[in-house]
Amino acid sequence: MTVERVAITGHTTASLPRPHVLYHVEIHGADGSTIRLTKRYSDFQELHHKIGDKEVLPPKRILVTTFLPAAWVDDKLIAERKTGLAVYLNSLLKHLEYRESPILQEFLSSSIRSSESKDFNPEDALPSTLSRKAALAAQVKTAAASKIAAAYYPDWSADSIPPESLDYSKFDILFFAFATPNSSSGISYDSGSTSILKRLVSAAKSSGKGTKIVLSIGGWDGSYWFSQAVSSSANRSTFVNAAVSAVNTYGLDGIDIDWEYPNSEGAGNPHSSSDSANLLSFFTSLRSALGSSKLITAAVTHQPWLGSNGSPLTNVASYAAQMSYVNIMNYDVWGASTTDFTDSVSTDYLFSSPVCFGRPGASSTPGPNAPLGNLCGTSRQPQASAQAAFSQWTEAGFPASKLLLGLPLYGYVSKSSATTLTGIALPPPGFDVQQYRERVLQLPRRGVAPACPLVRETFDAEPNFLDGAHARATHPADTKAVRAAAAGDLSSYYGQQIAFNQIVALGALTKASNGTYVQANGYTEGWDDCSDTPFLFDVARQTVVTYDDTYSLADKAAYAKSSGMAGCFTWSLDQDDGYTLQNVIRSSLGK
């Protein structure tokens, strides 16, 4: 049926699970047909969230009663909602990208989808049956519970962290990495990875914690065939069928596309100026094939995908209409060096990864791996931070509620005698960084330790040397030899990534009694206020480590929450010191 217009003709009440309002929706087709549905206000909220549109819903009752308490017992609120909800739906129908969205089509085809759930939304309550105090408390609880704490689970983690040993209560979503597109526009798996995937799905379901398992396709060294796989209708159909088959075969909750990167070569990949447009066509077909209940996500850079002109897209609302989330990879902004330049050259900028589309490499002096923001206004890469990514994606029309902020559980080791970080300079004279943190980012004054568990939970994970953002782990050094080295000797990691748990295991950090981490074995802990980044340095060893700890991860998760983002994900869970960092992230998200 081709929908011509929608009307909200009235309302009624229902008693279960608590008294609430149901709105009568009439859908009028171009052929003269009419469909009548009933919906809750929260159903419209869910539609608005899923489709990612820029239209305006009638205000939440919580906001109304902040200024007009009488609205709790005033039918005027219901009347205003009926008018506003009709305007909202008809506005969606005026836009092609929304009108043809399978999410909207499903919404207009059946009654009370989310309202069949036993969960009760205070916004649906009859005005006279819920006090303002109770509604405010319920809203706070609902908002906190809705934030997502996710992580990537690489297939190489199975030996050190078997799926059966995971505490699934820590994770709302686990992205299983990786499958890869192949030359036939199908999907390939590493040897043994499908067996691990089956175990992960089975263990997650058996846990009863509701953790969703999503298959991640691609990665830094797994993106070679993406451009071809989406380049034509026939190839996209094959690729979509392969993805749907994977979801059905393994009982998955969705698909994650980690293409590094459309219209850019990444690790030497074929690419085309049509990549981003073809990717949208792929997402549209995939959504149609999977339906609205499955997750469709993508790992992305700080800026939206590159358009045909080679610049980031300025309007990605049509992508948001098909997708559940984008996973912003806010890491690898600054690389690591194998040579100490400090005594031979100035510490001015020599090299860092190009914003968005490069990978880290040698730099003159160490810089922040994952800046929270350009807090002092002095960054040489102002577009590469959590704060910048949020602005760049939302300004292009991707809803904040569909953004997941990526948090690295690894750092970089440089051979360097530096005692400060480069790339983000010292604040200008008179600039108050703490005031900026509190006023602009709504973050607490640093110095109060975030809540951490006092029980040490450790996975004895091997070090991971990663060649890029989401890449397979290879380690050229003998692990036993590294462990046998003098405590705090990280020289075998020069120019490489290092997992957080290895910084601890090799003695550069030690866990304090309050659950945070402190310097050890000759290292001095520094803090770069301008990027909100901790680092360790030992001049005698010519070693500098940039990383993220309980403080910086808490700050980033708190920023994600305060800015209205959907939540956070980590790369990758095998690099944590047990669940210490994940627990801090969850706590800062309000979970």
Read off the pLDDT band of 84 (50, 70, 90): confident
Over residues 16-36, the mean pLDDT reads: 84
Token digits for 527?
Answer: 């803090």
What is the domain-level CATH number for residue 342?
Answer: 3.20.20.80
Task: Tell me what pLDDT residue 537 has.
Answer: 95
Tens-digit pLDDT profile for residues 400-442? 999 999 999 999 999 999 888 875 545 556 666 666 656 555 5
Domain boundary among 89, 120, 144: 144
pLDDT of residue 301: 96
DSSP string over 376-437: TS-BS-TTSSHHHHHHHHHHTT--GGGEEEEEESEEEEEE---SS-SSB-PPPTT--HHHHH
- d(C-alpha 510, C-alpha 102), whole Å: 51
**DSSP string of 447-506?**
TSPPP--SS-----PPP--BSSTT--B---S-HHHHHHSPTT--GGGTTEEEEHHHHHHT
Domain identity same for 13 and 47: yes
Same domain (yes/no): 217, 297: yes
Specify the number of domains making up the chain. Answer: 2
Whether the pTM exceeds 0.75: the reply is no
End-to-end CA distance of the chain: 42
Q: Which of 296, 287, 200 is nearest to 254 (CA)?
A: 296
Task: Decide if pLDDT at 551 tops 90.
Answer: yes
More confident residue, 123 or 420: 420
What is the Cα–Cα distance from 358 to 342, expressed in whole angstroms?
24
Q: How confident is the model at residue 59 (pLDDT cuts 50, 70, 90)?
A: low
Residue 354 near residue 360, CB atoms below 8 Å: no
- Write down the pLDDT at residue 355: 36
- Please check the confidence at residue 493 and state whether its pLDDT lies above 70: yes
- Same-domain check for residues 133 and 152: no
Do 176 and 109 lie in a common domain? no
Q: Domain range for residue 54?
A: 3-144
pLDDT for residue 365 is more than 50? yes
Q: How confident is the model at residue 491 (pLDDT cuts 50, 70, 90)?
A: very high
User: Do 538 and 480 have their domain in common?
Assistant: yes
Q: What integer pLDDT is reported at residue 451 of this predicted model? A: 42
Tell whether the model's pLDDT for residue 345 goes beyond 60. no
Q: What is the pLDDT of residue 339?
A: 76
Q: Are residues 15 and 54 in the same domain?
A: yes
The residue whose two tokens read 């031979």 is 344
Edge-to-edge order in the sheet of strand 3-14 = 3-14, 20-29, 34-39
> Helix (H, G, I), strand (E, B), or coil: what is residue 250?
helix
Banded model confidence at residue 452, pLDDT cuts 50, 70, 90? very low
Q: Helix or strand or coil: residue 335?
A: coil
The residue-averaged pLDDT of 341-363 equals 37
Let me know whether 119 and 155 are in one domain: no
Q: What is the pLDDT of residue 97?
A: 78
Q: What confidence score (pLDDT) does residue 349 get?
A: 30
**For 196-252, how does the pLDDT look when each residue is reduced to its tens digit (9 = 90+)?**
999 999 999 999 999 999 999 999 999 999 999 999 999 999 999 999 999 999 999
Under 8 Å between Cβ of 378 and 461: no
Those residues whose C-beta lies under 8 Å from the C-beta of residue 499, and which sit 6 or more positions away, are 409, 410, 461, 463, 464, 574, 575
Residues 6+ apart with CB under 8 A from 163: 153, 196, 199, 200, 202, 203, 204
Same structural domain, 236 and 139: no
Shared domain check, 154 and 104: no
Provide the pLDDT confidence category of residue 259 given band limits of 50, 70 and 90.
very high
Contacts of 498 (CB under 8 A, 6+ apart): 410, 411, 412, 413, 463, 490, 545, 547
Exposure on the CB side of residue 490, measured as CA atoms within 13 A: 43
Q: How many residues are present in the chain?
A: 591
Share of the chain above pLDDT 70, in %: 75
d(CA 551, CA 559): 12
Are 137 and 156 contained in the same domain? Answer: no
pLDDT score of 183: 98
- Is residue 483 predicted with pLDDT exceeding 80? no
> What pLDDT does residue 514 have?
86
Predicted local distance difference test score (pLDDT) of residue 248? 97
* Closest among 305, 222, 292 to 254, alpha carbons compared: 292
The DSSP code sequence of 168-203 is: GGG-SEEEEEEEEE-TTSSEEE-TTHHHHHHHHHHH
Mean of pLDDT values over 125-145: 52
130 and 241 assigned to the same domain: no
Task: Please choose, from the candidates 374, 526, 528, the residue with its C-alpha nearest in 3D space to the C-alpha of residue 440.
Answer: 374
| pLDDT on residue 462 | 33
> How sure is the predictor about 526, in pLDDT bands with cuts at 50, 70 and 90?
very high
Helix (H, G, I), strand (E, B) or coil at 29: strand
Q: What's residue 474's pLDDT?
A: 38
Is 50 exceeded by the pLDDT of residue 66? no
The candidate with the shortest Cα–Cα distance to 87, out of 1, 6, 9, 4, is: 6
Average pLDDT, the chain: 82
Q: What is the pLDDT of residue 101?
A: 86
In the listed set 95, 117, 144, which residue is the last one of a domain according to the structure?
A: 144
